[in-house]
Each structure stands twice: as C-alpha cells, then as structure tokens.
Structure 1
Amino acid sequence: MEIWNFGEPSCKCERCGAIFWYEERTSGRARRMPSFGLCCQQGKVDLPPFREPPAYLTKLLRKDNRKRSKNYMQNIRLYNSMFAFTTMGGKVDTEINNGGGPYVFRMNGQNYHRIGNLLPEGEDKPRWAQLYIYDTENEVKNRINASTSEDKRESIDPHIVEGLKNMLDRDNILAKKFRMARDRFEEGDYHNVRLKLINKRRTDGRRNDMPSATEVAALIVNDTAENRKGRDIIVQYRDTKPRRISQKHPKFMAMQYPLLFPYGEDGYRENIPYILKEGAKCKRKHVTMLEYYAYRIQQRTNQSMHLLMCEKLTLQFIVDALACILQYRLDWIKTHQGNLRTELYAGLQDTIDRGDTRADQVGKRILLPSTFTDSPRYKAQNFQDAMAICRWAGYPDLFVTFTCNTAWPEIQAMLQEVGQTAYERPDIVDRVFHIKLKEFMRDIRERGYFGKTLASNIPY
C-alpha cells in the first residue's frame, strides 16, 4: 500500500479567496469546479477584509528587527494585556505548559470580558482602559507595572511598549475615544462624564460598509440618566464596579485584543445579512457567530493574515471566540426551553433515573438537547447509536484509534509556506487530520480493504 500524500493546498474559493485543499470541497460538486463551504458558506457570508496592520506592527510580525521581534512574540500576550481596554474573566491554566511540550492555551471556568471606570478609585492603581486616561505622563511605566509581576518585568522592552502606544494613539479609533475623555479631564471637568461605546450601527457589517467615527463612541457630559437600553457600553467616571460586556457588541474583541485589531475594527454583531442570490430560499437570513469567526480565521492571499501570525495571542483569541460561540448557544437554549420541551419529553423520566426526590426541582433545570456538542444527551445518543449498530450487525471486527502526526508532509509543507509551526496553527493540523480521516474511512467503507463493510460508526 502506497503512502497517500495530497500535497499542498491548490484551490481557492472563487467567492472569498480562501485557500483550500481540493479534498475539502463540498460533496456533490463537479470535480472541475470545486466549491467550498467552510469559509463563506458558498458566498452567503461577505465581510470587510482586514487592512494591512500599521507599519510598526508589521515590522514586529515580520521579524525585521530580530532581537526586538523575538521579544515581542515571546511576550505577545503580555503586550496585548497592557493595552487591552477590558479584562478576561476566565482562569488561564498556566500549569499545563510546565511539561516542556508544545504551547497550549487552556482556560477554565466561565469566560467573560469586563470593563472598569474611566478613573481608578482612591489609591487604586490604574488598569485596563484607565491607562489611556490616568497619569499618561508615566504611561509606559504604568502599563508595565499594571500588567506584569516583578519577576517578568525584566523581559518587557519599554521601547516596544512606547512604540505600540504611539501606534494605537495614531491608528486605533477606540484609543482616540478614550484619549478624548482624558483631554476632557485635563481641562478640569471631572464630574458627570461618561463614555458611551455604541452598539447599534447604521451599516450592515458587510464588505465596504464600515461604521463612521460617530457610530463608535460618544462622550456624555452632565447627563446622569442611566441608559441601559440595548447593549451599549457605558464607561462611568467612578463609583461603579467593573461591568460585564456583551459578546454581541461590535467592539467586544477589539477592546480585548488591540494588537490583533490595531484599528479597533468592528467584530461580530447580530443581524449581519447573508448575501443571497435572487430567488434563493434560506430559513436563516443572518450570519451566525460561528460562521463569522470561521470566515475570519481563513487564510487568504488577497488580504492581511496578521490575525493568524500572532502565535500565543492567536491561540488565545481562538479559544475566546469558541467560548463566545458556546455561550451564545447556551443563552439561546436557556431562553428557548419552551421550544425544546417538546423534544425533551423524557425530562421527568431523566429526573427519576437520577434518583431526584425533590418535586420542587422537577421541571426547573436548564436542559441541554442532544444537538449541543458534548452535552450528556449528545454523548448518550452517540453511544446508543453505536450499540444499535452492534445489536443489528453483531460485534465489531475493527476498533480503530486514528491519530494525527504533525510531521505529515501536507502539514509541514503548508507551515513552511507561511513560516510557522504546528502549535501556532491548530487549524491547519485539524483540517489535514479530517482529510486523512475521511480518506481512511473511504478505504474501509468503499474500497473494501478489509472486506465488505456492513456498518460503521464514529462515536463523536
């Protein structure tokens, strides 16, 4: 049997320009005109392209200054946290990387983003967005002290911090809005000043349809009324605790990752419309959060790919995006329990099977349907499907564990082309794994290398 090597990716989505292997084409399409759905859902998703990052950031990413670029990439998560307007609520597992293996970013607990006041309270030191407003004469020192412990400060290059500060002041629309609040305070107006980060947009979020500066933020002076309508973010002057912000706000990711979104670009928001052909029918009319991020992390030759070049920070962003997607789904399930009850008619029987005896708890739990990946019902149904096959066809002849090798030539060829390693691009490793897995199953099911196949199952 020959070793199967499907080579480098040789196809490009004709609609959005994403790069693919031919083997990733949508099933049922003509072989001469392959179509792909992982990127833009076959043309239904059309988002503004990423701009090339500012020149200073480009030099750090391209490693033009080797010593400084190496320091930047090694500490990129620290540099990002210095300039982030918000903080993450999840607990990052730091012990998982003590073994000396490839870097892994793992987060435990509930993840959320919080934003504080415009100014620190009393003797508190400035943090997060406050560093754009408070004591800006010592800003570089304040940022280093606020974001790093004493044992890590020696690894931080103040020149990089200064360069990033100047870059964001010049190019980042969010930084400009917070500097606007600083200027107001320097004029002596300390009272009843709030910064409103606006959620609603007049534009629809598609290509070449960007929001104007007045749609992003507004400085509110001498207006004490609480405006909690919608998902606008109101940054108070003082006297409030850090507030959680909605993952549906357009600036949710830009506030947490200023080094990934150096211009403060909009991210996902609700009601971004599909691009539909005339007369086409579609149950859903708008882009989902999953489709949005799937579009964003594709590699394209016609736009900047700096989002995928930031190593540890890119991994953090992908994990954060997945957490947002899962939370979005869970919120929907929580608010649509009435719709799901007809599917989950066995809810009371589940309670009995668990041995619950308190009647006041029956019917009050949030039930996760089997369509939610890794939920108890998802696992139970997959197990039952596998057992049903065994009941019909008998005991299995093969029980195969299929693993991935990052040294596969397809992975290495793609990584060498972009100048990265396997741990920096889990998306490439995952895609090659699934291509190999599908081909392996085709060998067994269709080509009959082990004889005629009556039944098979992948229980996940």
Structure 2
Amino acid sequence: MDGKVDNSINQGTSPYVFRLNGQNHHKIGSLLPPIGEQPRFTQLYIYDTENEVENRMNTLRNNGRQPNVDLEIVENLSKMFDECNELTKVFRMARERFQQTDLQLVRLRLIGSRAKDGRQYNLPTKLEVTALIVGSSDNEKGHRDVIIEHRSEDLKRISELHPSFIAMQYPILFTNGEDGYRTDIPHADVDGSTKRTRRYVSIRENYAFRFQQRLQESKTRFKLGRLNQQFQVDAFTCLQESWLDWVRENQKKIRKEILKGLEDVVSRGDDMPASIGQHVIFPSSFTGSPRLLIQNYHDALAICRWAGPPDIFITFTCNPNWDEIVQYLSIIPSQQPEDRPDIIARVFKIKLDELMCDLTERGHFGQTKAGIKHII
C-alpha cells in the first residue's frame, strides 16, 4: 500500500484509528531486488529462499521497529501459503525458473481478465491468474494486466479493479489467493424478468457484501483488530477512486451550472479564468464535495425563510457502551468497539432515525413544522 498514513491521531489514549490522507494505491516491484538492496514483499518468495524467514524478520527491522513476532508462526504461515495460495505458487514457480537458467530474462504477467463466470466462486488456478513471459518480447495483454519485470528499481501501480488487488495486500484474509472484485460479476437476477439499469455488480455492492458478518462463515476478518480497520479504509478508498474516475470521464453528463459564472467573468475581460474554476467539476451528489455543502446550506436557508428560525438544535453522539453494540460484539469474543466501526455506524444510524421519528411523527415536543437532519 502506497499512501500517507497519519499516525499522529493515535498519540493519545483514545481508541486506535487508521487514517489515510491523500490518494491511496497499491504498487508492486520487480521479481528480484536491485543489486545491493534487501528483498521485500513478493521478492521474498524468490530471492534467497533458504533464509526467507530471517529476511522477513529483517524487513520489519529495516522499518525501525523491533519485530515482536513469533518465528514459528511466520514459518507456519509461509508453509500454509505454499500449500494453499495460488499467488504464492506463482512466485515459487518463477523462483524455479530462475534456478534452472540465468541466461533468459523472465517476467511475470498478472492476468486481469478471468475466463470463468463471475458468479462461480471456485478457487483460481495458476493458469488463470498468471503467465510467465520468457525473453524480452511482450505478449498481448489486457489493459488491467500487470507485468512484473525481472529486476527494476521502478514500482508499478496495480489497478483497484484487478481481481488480485486485495488478495495480494491481505493474504491472511484471502488465504487461497481468490479473486476480489471483478467488473464482470453479474447480478443474481440478471436473467430474470426484472429489468435492471446495470447488469453487473458494482464495487460498492461487492464490498458491502463482503463486510457482512454471517453465522455460517469464518470470523477471521473480524478477529484481526487494526488490520480489519485498514482493510475497510482500503476498500473505501477503492470505492472513492472508482467514483472519482467516473466523474472525471463523464463531465458532459454532469449539470455544471457553476460554469455559467465562469463564462460571465471571462466575458467581462478577465484573462485568468484558471484561478476561478476547476478542470473537474464534482456533482452535488458526491459526499463531501463543495457543491453538496453549498446545496445543504441553501436548503437550510430556504427552510428557515419559509418556516422561521429554528426552535431546537440537537447534537446526537454515539455511545459505544449501548446495549445493542455490546450485545452484537459479544458474538465474537475479545472484540472492542473500535474494532467494528461498521457496527458502531449501523447502530448509530438506527438510533438517529428513531430520534427523528420521535420528533417528527410521534410529536415528542409537539407538532413539527419543518426539520433538517445533517449527519456529521
């Protein structure tokens, strides 16, 4: 993961929070480290595998921290990935190729398009996820394929729409190297009589499905604590990136009334319009955008102009010790409220809606003439 992680927020005694600033993206290096440098990440599966466990421990030491990690656990995890994870087997296959000959360059291609049906969650195979490229010739590849060079100092970015995007970042969560989100996953009722405007599952629907806790499924993700928070933030940034890409590529479909003001300024003789507007205009439906904030502000003024000044202002906060939250967290032992921000947000939303129902429908303070609900 290549992003600016803000650790200053965790200097106090408050619960742990994973905060990421700026743009988040995942990068991958070459198969072998540059000459004179230590192997890192996937390079550990290929380079000096006789001392692989020790090299993994040295990676943590290079970050300025003393690894408080059990050596036996690291060895067992490595053996488990060798037996179960298809992505690990691919890098081991590249290692065997390097051991056989050093005369030809070998590159690895992570295939972005799968031939199987997106509704079939069968485990992937090496032939489906990767291909070895021997020599310097470049085979035909898809626009989301990732070519891992033999030895290079440059990092390559992996698209958030690549099926192995999440599996390579969180191998403990995706033990078998199974696919994450794919753009060709059809809706379950796509062949039914109900007409849909979209035929395929969106990235938002995919992560919303994965983040649900189910009794018949494994509880591994919910026992990972801070890593679970990082996974949720990582997934949310993927969703935001996808949404921003759509906004950037569909500017003609967005109502851009704000540009009328720019035309008026230019017509008055201002020769520096770049200081006034932006090249990419956000729609008012984008959460957190200036247009949404201005729209909410204008809506509030319009209601006050019609109904008069407000009579009551309520700040509604969340208590992690609410009975509903404590009861749900008790399903999985040793969970803390900060480990499950999804449960906190869900219970808070339910209680907020119930409060608004008390004020508007049940008339707790009498008949309501107008109401404004802003969730911050």
TM-score (norm 2): 0.93
| SS in structure 2 at match of 1:267 | coil
Structure 1 residue 360: deviation in Å? Answer: 5.8
Distance change >3 Å, CA 150–CA 128, structure 1 → 2: closer
Taking structure 1 as reference, are residues 350 and 190 closer, same or farther at Cα in structure 2, changes over 3 Å only?
farther
**1:202 maps to what in 2?**
115
SS at match of 2:107: strand
2:202 is the alignment partner of 1:321: no
Which deviates the most, 439-448 or 298-307?
298-307
Identity among equivalent pairs (%): 47
Residues 1:414 and 2:334 are matched in the alignment: no
Per-residue CA deviation, residues 123-151 of structure 1 (Å, 9 max, x unaligned), is: 01111211110011111111111234475
Q: How far does residue 209 in structure 1 lie from its aligned partner after superposition? A: 4.8
Q: Does residue 1:181 correspond to 2:94, yes or no?
A: yes
Of stretches 148-157 and 118-127 in structure 1, the one that deviates more from structure 2 is 148-157
Deviation at 1:229, TM superposition (A): 3.6
Query: What pairs up with 1:222-233 in 2 under 5 angstroms?
Result: 222-225=135-138, 227=140, 229-233=142-146
Classify 1:208/1:147 alpha carbon distance in 2 versus 1 (closer, same or farther; 3 Å). Answer: same
Residue 90 of structure 1 aligns to a residue in which SS? strand
Q: 1:344 is matched with which residue: 256, 263, 268? A: 256
1:401 aligns with 2:306: no
C-alpha separation in 2, matches of 1:310 and 1:166: 20
Q: What's the CA shift for 1:357?
A: 5.2
Return the alpha-carbon distance in structure 1 between the equivalents of residues 253 and 224 of structure 2.
42
SS at match of 2:66: helix
State the 1:346 CA deviation: 2.3
Letter in 2 for 1:347: L
- Tell me: CA distance 1:218–1:425, structure 2 relative to 1, closer, same or farther (3 Å): same
Deviations 1:138-186 (A, max 9, x none): 1111111123447532412222211111111111110000000001111
Alpha-carbon RMSD: 2.1
In structure 2, the residue matched to 1:458 is 373
User: Higher relative CO (CA 8 A, sep ≥ 6), structure 1 or 2?
Assistant: 1
Deviations 1:49-106 (A, max 9, x none): xxxxxxxxxxxxxxxxxxxxxxxxxxxxxxxxxxxxxxx1111111211102111111
Question: 2:73 aligned to 149, 160, 163, which one?
Answer: 160
Letter in 1 for 2:256: L
1:433 matched to 2:348: yes
Asked if the contact 1:348–1:363 (Cα under 8 Å) also holds between the matched residues in 2, the reply is no
Residues 384-414 of structure 1, C-alpha deviation per residue, up to 9 Å, x if partnerless? 1111111111111111111000000110011
Aligned length: 371
- In the TM superposition, 1:117-266 aligns within 5 A as 117-149=30-62, 152-189=65-102, 191-225=104-138, 227=140, 229-239=142-152, 241-266=154-179
Q: Distance in 2 between matches of 1:108 and 1:364?
A: 21
- How far apart in 2 are the matches of 1:190 and 1:318? 44
Q: Pick one of 292, 304, 310 that aligns with 1:378.
A: 292
Q: Per-residue displacement from partner, 1:309-355 (whole Å, max 9, x unpaired)?
A: 21111100000000010010001111111222xx11222416878x9
Matching residue's letter, 1:299: Q
**Structure 1 pair 351–93 and aligned structure 2 pair: CA distance change class (3 A):** farther
What does residue 7 of structure 1 align with?
none
Q: Distance in 2 between matches of 1:244 and 1:308?
A: 28
Letter in 1 for 2:314: V
So what's the TM-score if we normalise by structure 1? 0.77
Is contact 1:201–1:211 with CA below 8 Å preserved after alignment?
no
CA distance in 2, matches of 1:190, 1:262: 34
Retained in 2: the 8 A contact 1:348–1:362? no
| In 1, Cα distance between equivalents of 2:357 and 2:370 | 13
> Which residue type is aligned with residue 237 of structure 2?
A
How far apart are 1:382 and its partner, in Å?
1.1
Mapped partners of 1:164, 1:301: distance in 2: 26
1:268 and 2:181 are equivalent in the alignment: yes
- Cα 1:235/1:150, change in 2 over 3 Å: closer
Q: 5+ unaligned residues in a row in structure 2: which ranges?
A: none
1:378 CA drift (Å):
0.8
In structure 2, the CA distance between the partners of 1:437 and 1:383, relative to structure 1 (3 Å rule), is same
Aligned in 2, Cα 1:396/1:359: closer, same or farther, shift over 3 Å? closer
Separation in 2, partners of 1:150, 1:386 = 50
Residue ranges of structure 1 left out of the alignment (5+ in a row): 1-87
Rounded Cα–Cα distance in structure 1 between residues aligned with 2:111 and 2:30: 16
Q: Check the 8 A contact 1:406/1:422 in 2, yes or no.
A: yes
Given the alignment of the two structures, is residue 312 of structure 1 paired with residue 226 of structure 2, yes or no? Answer: yes
